[in-house]
Amino acid sequence: MERDPQNVLSAEERSRLRRWNDGEWVEPMRATPTDTPFSDPGWLFEPKLDGVRVLVGRDDGGVPMLWSRNHKRVDDSYPEIVAAMAEQNADRFLVDGEVVAFEGKRTSFAKLQSRIHVASAEEARATGVAVHLYLFDMLALGGVDLRAVPLRTRKRLVEAVFSFHGPLHYGGHRNTEGEKFYRQACERGWEGILAKRADSGYESRRSREWLKFKCVSDQEFVIGGFTEPQGTRTGFGALLVGYYENRRLRYAGKVGTGYDQSTLRDLRNRLDELERDTRSFGERVGERGAHWVSPELVAQVAFTEWTRDGKLRHPRFIGLRQDKPARDVVREL
């Protein structure tokens, strides 16, 4: 398998190479939400996986390290992935990917929850939840910075360098036919698709060189409070959630479904630790007896649509996210 990017790049691509600084943190590139699928020979189209983004790095043949998109080590959550990456022949690399768990034939962030919130590799294995890593981009290889090299070439290097078996998979793509691929994704119940400009470099920001088209409505929201349980309910009644707009936490509604008993109990314990006297939102919230919490926890929430007054219709809790700072949560348009 190819190990030296110099041997597979064109002369023009080689001119874009720079020296890689081992240990350098790279903020992952993010896609811009949009709602107009298209087809274009200059773009690649990938499945949108319902998992957790990770960067995997290795220096001088050492033990691979897994980082979340907000620069937290997550090795203990996925020990089998660390082991599989350690078996690779490449000694120095930084690669971008997504960790997923499957519910049937679909990736499921809810299924992945039991792996995200563990304290040790032993606890992760004990969950019995199988995880997989899809690798779709190469940022550095063999001491060479590849971020200025076109995406299509970076993906070719991913496929050539790594051996895909066990929990490791190549994050493939379709060419040109974005609209057809989007229809197929929605018919199969996928999250959606990603469109990426084939000649784009890797940018540490949200970029319009990468676009995402969702088949379902869901996004992250900041938890700013909760209500007391009613009747036989335990834990709490509903989460009060919002998003940031001009540094102000806007109220988006209450989320009362999607919890099992364990989640209700465990999440209430975490909310009690964050409780405070003052309102978390920058506007009045008409919920009687609401408890306010410091806006630190981020929830993934599915919903059918936004109402005219800017609230969520039929919201459902999917899980907590640890890979996104609360201050980065905005309304996706």
Compute the distance between CA of residue 236 and CA of residue 221 in angstroms, rounded to an integer.
Answer: 18
Report which DSSP code applies to 75: G
**H or E element in which residue 251 lies:** strand 248-255
Closest CA to 312 of 224, 240, 213: 240
- As given in the structure block, the two tokens for residue 76 are 């203990």
For 120-144, give the DSSP string.
SHHHHHHT----EEEEEEEEEETTE
Q: How far is CA 138 from CA 31, 57, 212, 222, in A?
A: 17, 10, 20, 31
Task: State yes or no: is 48 an active-site residue.
Answer: yes
Residues 48, 196, 214, 254: which is the catalytic one?
48
Strand-pair partners of 317: 301
Burial tier of 270 (Cβ tally within 10 Å: 0-12, 13-18, 19+): middle
Burial tier of 24 (Cβ tally within 10 Å: 0-12, 13-18, 19+): exposed
Closest CA to 160 of 138, 134, 175: 138
To which residue do tokens 């001088």 refer? 60
220: left (phi over 0), alpha (psi -120 to 50) or beta: beta
* Polymer length of the chain: 333
Instruction: Give SS3 for 82.
Output: helix
Q: Say if residues 302 and 318 touch (Cβ distance below 8 Å).
A: yes
Compute the distance between CA of residue 204 and CA of residue 201 in angstroms, rounded to an integer.
Answer: 10
Report which DSSP code applies to 152: H
List, by residue number, the catalytic residues. 48
